[in-house]
């Protein structure tokens, strides 16, 4: 049978009505792609707002809307294409440089800038890297040697830990503390021991070698739920029936091979179901199938227990004046890994004071700490980088703990990340934790949503955006084009 005939048969067999459970990033992406392809889509969200783990909420005591800062890179082509479809690409502020700050008790923290220069990729950041005072000559030589191993791409296997790779490639202690670990903890939300070199290598290949455009840092200029509103409006224009405050209790198959989705006291019958929910929620819903007799109670289609969920803790500070002269910075040799001056990123007038967010990735120790302990420790560390806070008045503060912020890309996990299809006909799963070849990021979530829409349509990669083009010498060096 010819390929065109196969595609036609797949199109004829695709369901015309789909229920998507979960209006997080993956669910929104799947709904937009499916509705744009002509499907009738009902999108169910148990909370009153969209975004999933990428959400914001009004803090009742502070009178402020807070979230846990999410960022993207220029290589996040599917995420950016979704924003462009929604005419919302303007809500990302782009930065071409990273500033690494070393703490100083004397009030004069040392700054190291990594940014593109005149040289072609992969050497476009080499001049600033060689000038960076946070590293010695031996450290830079070790890092340069390590980066060359990612020139052509990153390992296809995820068996080795990044910590083992650092040791095997002879990385110095300072190179690890001031370069490798800050980048990995910020991007993958875990330690080098818990991350595979495959996904660490992907970050360094894309952010430092592929092209200046691929490594650009993009930060949303609005609280996350508000940030995703244009995508919600796009979905509704395409005919998506979005129902918030609608939790799903169970799913089941009808004798005719269709699906029933139970929401409270009502049921929705549909041709296909996409579970765009978190790992634990998806596990619970799929367990209702076993309980309904669709499979034996011991049947486990996915190895949910293989996933380790990693926390992020953020400290939010409002001052009466501007206390930081940088929009964002990597903070070295402290528990705080990153600072975002959100008042600057969002374009506040200086008369409003300043709003800072401090990020602690892989924050297992902090989950058990009291708010008072966390706040006191963060303020002591912040003074080592921005001494102006000593003269400013702290107006209010908040601590946000996300115990299940991301999943860890532990060595060997790829074998257990499921495809978007399931053993059940026309039951699909989406989410950054599914098989996307990306770590736990908003880009991974969008890719999963588009991949699942492709599976429903009969062509898995139908809706994927092209990768960021390689530039300079990387057009010949990289095997990932």
Report d(CA 358, CA 113) in Å as an integer.
20
Token pair for residue 311?
């926390």
pLDDT band of residue 290 (cuts 50, 70, 90) is low
pLDDT the model gives residue 295 = 60
In a domain? residue 162: yes
Is residue 115 in some structural domain?
yes
Answer yes or no: is 396 within a domain.
no
| Residue among 331, 346, 410, 345 nearest 377 (CA) | 331
From the centroid of its chain, how far is CA 74?
13
Across the range 172-199, mean pLDDT stands at: 98
Domain presence at residue 102: yes
Sign of CA dihedral 291, 434, 429, 265: positive
Point out the least confidently predicted range of 9-23, 30-44, 432-446: 9-23
Which of 72-81, 198-207, 286-295 comes out lowest in average pLDDT?
A: 286-295
CATH of residue 115's domain is 1.10.405
Domain count, the chain: 1
Which pLDDT band holds residue 5 (cuts at 50, 70, 90)? very low
d(CA 181, CA 187): 10
What rounded mean pLDDT belongs to the chain? 94
pTM of the model: 0.95
Check whether 66 has a pLDDT greater than 70.
yes
Q: Does any domain span residue 295?
A: no
Q: Is the pLDDT of residue 139 over 60?
A: yes
- Dihedral of the alpha carbons of 190, 368, 24, 359, in degrees to the nearest 10: -60
154 part of a folded domain: yes
Domain that holds residue 181: 97-211
Arithmetic mean of pLDDT, 49-74: 94
d(CA 302, CA 292) in angstroms, rounded, equals: 18
Beta bridge partner(s), residue 94:
218
Handedness of CA 109, 371, 364, 300 (dihedral sign): negative
Q: Is the pLDDT of residue 225 over 50?
A: yes
Q: Are 236 and 242 in contact (CB under 8 A)?
A: yes
Each residue's pLDDT tens digit, 80-126: 999 999 999 999 999 999 999 999 988 889 999 999 999 999 999 99
pLDDT digits (tens, 9 = 90+) for 307-341: 999 999 999 999 999 999 999 999 999 999 999 99
Task: Determine the Cα–Cα distance for residues 365 and 339; give it in Å rounded to an integer.
Answer: 19
Check residue 289 and give its pLDDT: 83
Pick the range with the lowest mean pLDDT from 17-26, 288-297, 437-446.
Answer: 288-297
Task: For strands 272-275 and 427-429, give the pairing.
Answer: parallel
Helices (H), 210-352: 224-227, 229-237, 279-291, 342-345
Torsion of CA 176, 177, 181, 183, to 10 degrees: -110
Confirm if 444 and 276 have CB atoms less than 8 A apart.
no
Does 46 reside within a domain? no
Say what the pLDDT of residue 299 is.
Answer: 53
Residue range 66-93: mean pLDDT, rounded:
97
Answer whether residue 196 is part of any domain: yes
- Quickly tell me which residue has 């990669």 as its tokens: 461
pLDDT grade for 15, boundaries at 50, 70 and 90: confident
Cα torsion 178, 478, 156, 453 to 10°: value is: 100
- Res. 297: pLDDT tops 80: no
- Per-residue pLDDT tens over the stretch 337-363: 999 999 999 999 999 999 999 999 999
Cα within 13 Å of Cα(6), Cβ side? 5
């Amino acid at each position: 049978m010819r390929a065109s005939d196969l595609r036609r048969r797949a199109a004829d067999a695709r369901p015309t009505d789909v229920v998507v459970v979960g209006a997080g990033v993956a669910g929104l992406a799947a709904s937009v792609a499916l509705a744009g392809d002509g499907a009738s889509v009902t999108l169910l969200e148990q909370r009153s707002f969209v975004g999933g783990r990428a959400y914001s909420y009004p803090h009742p005591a502070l009178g402020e809307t807070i979230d846990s800062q999410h960022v993207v890179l220029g290589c996040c082509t599917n995420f950016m294409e979704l924003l462009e479809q929604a005419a919302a690409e303007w809500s990302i502020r782009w930065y071409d440089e990273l500033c690494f700050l070393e703490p100083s008790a004397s009030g004069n923290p040392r700054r190291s800038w990594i940014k593109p220069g005149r040289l072609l990729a992969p050497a476009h950041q080499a001049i600033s890297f060689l000038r960076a005072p946070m590293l010695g000559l031996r450290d830079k030589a070790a890092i340069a040697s390590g980066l060359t191993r990612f020139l052509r791409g990153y390992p296809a296997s995820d068996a080795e830990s990044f910590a083992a790779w650092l040791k095997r490639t002879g990385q110095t202690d300072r190179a690890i503390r001031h370069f490798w670990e800050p980048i990995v903890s910020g991007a993958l939300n875990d330690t080098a021991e818990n991350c595979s070199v495959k996904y660490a290598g992907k970050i360094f290949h894309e952010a430092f070698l592929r092209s200046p455009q691929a490594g650009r840092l993009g930060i949303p200029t609005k609280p996350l739920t508000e940030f995703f509103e244009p995508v919600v409006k796009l979905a509704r224009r395409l005919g998506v029936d979005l129902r918030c405050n609608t939790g799903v209790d169970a799913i089941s198959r009808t004798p005719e091979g269709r699906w029933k989705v139970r929401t409270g006291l009502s049921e929705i019958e549909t041709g296909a179901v996409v579970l765009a929910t978190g790992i634990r929620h998806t596990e619970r819903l799929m367990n209702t199938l076993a309980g309904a007799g669709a499979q034996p109670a011991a049947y486990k289609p996915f190895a949910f227990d293989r996933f380790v969920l990693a926390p992020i803790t953020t400290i939010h500070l409002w001052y009466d004046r501007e206390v930081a002269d940088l929009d964002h910075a990597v903070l070295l040799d402290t528990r705080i890994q990153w600072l975002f001056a959100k008042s600057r990123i969002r374009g506040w007038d200086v008369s409003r004071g300043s709003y800072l967010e401090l990020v602690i990735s892989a924050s297992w120790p902090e989950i058990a700490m009291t708010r008072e302990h966390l706040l006191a420790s963060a303020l002591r560390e912040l003074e080592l980088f921005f001494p102006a806070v000593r003269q400013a008045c702290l107006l209010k503060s908040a601590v946000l703990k996300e115990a299940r912020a991301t999943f860890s890309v532990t060595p060997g996990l790829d074998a257990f990340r499921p495809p978007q299809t399931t053993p059940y006909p026309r039951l699909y799963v989406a989410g950054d934790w599914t098989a996307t070849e990306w770590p736990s990021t908003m880009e991974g979530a969008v890719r999963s949503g588009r991949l699942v829409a492709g599976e429903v349509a009969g062509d898995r990669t139908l809706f994927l955006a092209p990768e960021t083009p390689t530039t300079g010498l990387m057009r010949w060096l990289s095997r990932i084009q």
